Amino acid sequence: MRAFPFASRNLKELIRDPMMIIFAIGFPVILLLLLSAIHSNAPVSLFAISKLSPGIAVFGLSFISLFSGMLIAKDRCSSFLMRLFASPLSASDYILGYILPLLPVAIIQSVVCFVLSFFLGLSVTANVLLALVVLIPTSVLFIGTGLLMGTLVNDKAVGGIASIIINLSAWLSGTWFNLNLVGSMFKAISDALPFANAVNAARAAISGDYAAIFPSLLWVIGYAVAVLVISIVIFRRKMMNATT
Amino acid sequence: MSAIQITGLTKKFKERTAVQPLDLSVNQGEFFSVLGVNGAGKTTIIRMLSCLTEPTSGDATLLGQSIVSNPRAVKEIINVSPQETAVAPRLTVRENLELIARIYGNDRNSAKEKATKVIDSLGLSEVERDKAKTLSGGWQRRLSIAMALISEPKILFLDEPTLGLDVLARRELWSLIEKMKGEVTILLTTHYLEEAEALSDRVGIMVKGELRAVGTVSELNARAGNQKFEDAFVSIATESGVIA
Ligand SMILES: Nc1ncnc2c1ncn2[C@@H]1O[C@H](COP(=O)(O)OP(=O)(O)OP(=O)(O)O)[C@@H](O)[C@H]1O
Ligand SMILES: [Mg+2]
């Protein structure tokens, strides 16, 4: 499989970027510490660790779209990708090569988030493992979003669009405030988008409310599949007519 | 048998015709230079021949394989050094080379061996372990060329390879190319006329997307009635009519 040397290059390219370590691991860790400190001084039910940690996990994953988008856009704009397009790699080699290395990054990120949560009072149960699995479609969604952005726009624009997505996923996730309190319109939009659903599915997994996982998870899976399919179609088209 | 057989190859970008219907045959082992002012269409020809851009009409076969109907087979036997330096920034020089070798189907060991060979022949050993993005522009350029050579292509496209190289590096590259002559079919573009003069078996001069004149340097000199190749180039490139 020629996808593997390419995937291993992409992994190296990612983990050798200090910004990526700071954002992927440092940022969620700081938020988790900060919010649980607030919670211990002035308890808010929303910031109880069993609710907070799935929310922060999803928020952390939203940064994955930034990393994957940046990597791909830079490859495209530096004509490195053009050189590869002239090589015998196939479209599926590229897609796998870009997606595969980001999955372990996403999983490690969630693991760090939950392990830290154990120290902050999250009960150590098998449900946490379930939550890790439930978060995989969310990872795929954000990786696919990055693939789509990186295929369409340059690396500067990826930064801008990714920050919009990161903000959207924060505001509309129900991690920071109760969505019901803002208004029915806001709630309806949040329910239609994948972010709150991703958080709800992970929260349901953590709390052992297995029946509640699937309705939310299906939304996320639907979005993940749609974004992935669209980005693959566009990527293939770009491959046939590579312009930098 | 000719290595490159081009028939009616045309490229239009919307209204602008970048390459007018082109017919050309390049022999196996021949060194062919394409000259022309900025925007003449040289890079567009290389992009079409290396299956990076689909021709608007026409076709070309590379060692018998069509770029339109069988790009996969074409990509196995070619390699390109793009006009812009194309390297993976956070990989070392050696990692970049091994990556390309593996993408072209070599296993780990033979990728290592080939990388060592190319590092020796292009004088890259002193920067072997440096990350590509820390190299100077000229050294990145050498790496970019090395990445085109490592797959040992049967047909090699060099788009302004010596741009940004110092005099010594340029001489070294010339002598390296001299050694490949006869075995590898090479299509090169350059703005350095002495480079084309020193290396080429034949030269083609493009004007506004059209191949105005093809021949050996002395044939072109004779045709334009000039002693110096630079004068011959200028008179052919600025002529308004078509040379029969
Ligand atoms: N992707 C594109 N979209 C629109 N026009 C393009 C595109 N690529 C090239 N062109 C146009 O095609 C023409 C030929 O461009 P090309 O890059 O092949 O020239 P060139 O001979 O390589 O020039 P240079 O010596 O500057 O590298 C130019 O007029 C250019 O503007
Ligand atoms: Mg060019």
Instruction: List residues, by chain if needed, whose CB lies under 5 Å from ion ligand 2.
Output: B 42-43, 83
pLDDT tens profile B31-51: 999 999 999 999 999 999 999
Average pLDDT (A221-244) is 87
How many angstroms is it from A171 CA to the middle of ligand 2?
47
Answer whether B159's CB lies under 8 Å from B82's CB. yes
Q: How far apart are CA A233 and CA B218, in angstroms?
A: 50
Q: How far apart are CA B133 and CA A238, in angstroms?
A: 26
Alpha-carbon dihedral of residues A95, A241, B86, B110, nearest 10 degrees? Answer: 60
Identity of residue B26: V
Answer whether A127's CB lies under 8 Å from A59's CB. no
Ligand of minimum distance to the alpha carbon of B52:
1
How many angstroms is it from B189 CA to the middle of ligand 2?
8
Q: Which two tokens stand for residue A53?
A: 């940690």
Q: Is the Cα dihedral B102, B104, B107, B111 positive or negative?
A: negative
Residues with Cβ within 8 Å of residue A52, at least 6 apart in sequence: A32, A35, A36, A39, A46, A117, A175
Contact list, A16 vs chain B (CB under 8 Å): 90, 131
Q: Which residue has a Cα nearest atom 3 of ligand 1?
A: B13
Per DSSP bridges, beta strands B31-36 and B185-189 are parallel
Helix (H) or strand (E) holding A137: helix A136-152
Average pLDDT (A190-196) is 94
Atom of ligand 1 nearest to the CA of B41: 18
Q: Which residue has a Cα nearest atom 2 of ligand 1?
A: B13
Residue ranges of the domains in chain B? 2-83+153-237
Question: Across all residues in chain B, what is the average pLDDT?
Answer: 94
Model confidence at B96: pLDDT above 70 = yes
Range of the domain at A118: 3-240
Residue to mutate among B16, B51, B52, with most A CBs inside 10 A, is: B52
Residue A85 pLDDT grade (very low, low, confident, very high; cuts 50, 70, 90): very high
Average pLDDT (A130-159) is 95
Residue A243 pLDDT grade (very low, low, confident, very high; cuts 50, 70, 90): low
Residue B241 has what pLDDT?
56
Q: How many independent structural domains does chain A possess?
A: 1
Residue A6 has what pLDDT?
97
Residue A209 phi, psi (nearest 5): -90, 70
Please report, rounded to a whole number, the percentage of residues in chain B having pLDDT higher than 90.
86
Contact list, A12 vs chain B (CB under 8 Å): 90-91, 95
Residue B103 has what pLDDT?
96
Residue B240 has what pLDDT?
67
Contact list, B84 vs chain A (CB under 8 Å): 78-79, 244
Q: How far apart are CA B24 and CA B5, in angstroms?
A: 6
Ligand of minimum distance to the alpha carbon of B208:
1
Write down the CATH number for the domain with range B2-83+153-237.
Answer: 3.40.50.300
* pTM for the model: 0.91
Answer whether B127's CB lies under 8 Å from B139's CB. yes
Q: How far apart are CA A71 and CA A150, in angstroms?
A: 7
Strand partners, B57: B10
